[in-house]
Amino acid sequence: MSWLKSAISSALSSRGPTPANSTPGTPTTEAPAPVLTVSQDGNDDIPAFPLAHGDCNTCATPCPDHAQYPDSLRKTIEWEEPMKGSVMTYGKHFVIATGSGKMNWEHEVSEVEGTMAHEVGKIVYNRTSGKRTVLTNSSMAVPYEEEENKTDVLVLPDWKFVEEIKPEQASDLVSHFVDEQAEAGKGLKVRDAEWDAIVLICSHRKRDKRCGITAPYLRNEFERSLRSHNLWRDPDDSRPNGGVGVFFVSHIGGHKFAGNVIIYRKEKGEGIWYGKVEPCHVERIVEETVVSGMVFEGLLRGGVEGRKEMF
């Protein structure tokens, strides 16, 4: 991740010096950042994130530089309602590849029989103990023929890719990563995920049109910002490792807080859930959160603090 920080620092320094009374473009090293603890469900097992320096939005109002959500949509977002603690505590997040460019799914992805989401959901959603497991479909590419009924699953915050997995192997997937049974993983094809960070944007219009509308705005702005820092990675990128992947995902809750974004970082394994994200926020999110793991309190819903090295 150090090269990623260097890339951002180099790009920012090329803008010239920052006035003393302006919002800095990159975290200062003068003093340690204060730490924000997020209460979730009254549970003591909660993340503590360092706070970002400055505001998450430094644009003029109205902003001439970024696309804006339609007024009709803005009226439906709960701008004044607090978000902190709105993410239930969880342990694992399974991100299922369903096809490049996919951004909408059936209303409840775990109820579509014969799919990976259905088989995993039958297991994890019927458990009455242990930490919750998050399950989402995604726009990650599926490099297999449809009749093979194979897909890939990204396991977070472990940063492991399970390749060529079939729905009938769902039990092994859960046993290996959730229950920490090493033996269950012997039949799974597992490799390290290649990115340094990943951005997941809820686009599930069949659950709520607000996320379906906001997601393309955010995806376009993340692409623009990440490309400007040479951090963007798409499925056809020939560079084998590093950079940041950006994908649409199915329902993650909190549609009234659209746009909803989750940022996972490989360096420490944390997952940071943001709500009410607008295009004007994205540049600062890339500089502070994606690169450095610093959070903006006004956008934070919750998250997971870091990964556990299991095997």
CATH number at residue 298: 3.40.30.10
Quick one: 152 and 300 in the same domain? no
| Chosen domain end from 192, 223, 243 | 192
Q: Helix, strand, coil: what percent of the chain each, to 5?
A: 25, 20, 50
Is 100 buried (19+), middle (13-18) or exposed (0-12) by CB count in 10 A?
A: middle
Quick one: 266 and 184 in the same domain? no
Cα torsion angle, 75, 81, 84, 90, sign: negative
Quick one: 63 and 210 in the same domain? yes
C-alpha–C-alpha distance, residues 301 and 285, integer Å:
14
pLDDT tens across 277-303, in order? 999 999 999 999 999 999 999 999 999
Q: How many domains does the chain have?
A: 2
- The CATH number assigned to the domain holding 119 equals 3.40.30
Looking at every residue in the chain, the average pLDDT score rounds to 86
In a domain, 22, yes or no: no
* Residue of 249, 200, 267, 256 whose CA lies nearest to 50: 267
pTM: 0.86
Q: Return the SS3 of 140.
A: coil
Quick one: 62 and 161 in the same domain? no
Quick one: 218 and 72 in the same domain? yes
| Chosen domain end from 192, 215, 246 | 192
Quick one: 177 and 248 in the same domain? no
Domain limits for position 187: 90-192
In a domain, 73, yes or no: yes
pLDDT tens across 163-172, in order? 999 999 999 9
Quick one: 300 and 199 in the same domain? yes
In a domain, 310, yes or no: no
| Chosen domain end from 192, 220, 237 | 192
Quick one: 200 and 81 in the same domain? yes
Query: Using 50, 70 and 90 to split pLDDT, how confident is the model at 39?
Result: low
* Residue of 188, 178, 222 whose CA lies nearest to 67: 222
